[in-house]
Amino acid sequence: MTVTSTRAQWPHTIDDISNSLEGIWGLVGATTTTGNLLRLERSLHEPLTYTITEYRGNDESDVVRRETYDAKQRDEAINLFAQAIGFQIG
């Protein structure tokens, strides 16, 4: 017998994403709509950058893509992350 469980994915809102980036670790992660692990992280030192990293499945050694955004592109990085995990933007 196979039991499938579903759970509400965190972050629940785009504000959750933003608040996580401003927290002590500057990191938020979630599963994309395609089932890959996705992380958005803020650099801990200047110059301030935001990096989106997508991993195949949950394998953190298998990077599918990595994109870096500067401080002026913060909102763009948040929106791309949010869309990849299923939020409707706009």
Strand partners, 69: 50
Contact 31, 10 (CB under 8 A): no
Q: State the amino acid at position 64 in one-letter form.
A: V
pLDDT at 1: 55
The H or E element spanning position 67 is strand 63-70
Structure confidence by residue, pLDDT tens digits, 19-76: 999 988 999 999 999 999 999 999 999 999 999 999 999 999 999 999 999 999 999 9
Domain coordinates in residue numbering, the chain: 14-84
pTM of the model: 0.86
Q: How would residue 6 be classed by pLDDT, with cut points 50, 70 and 90?
A: very low
pLDDT at 90: 74
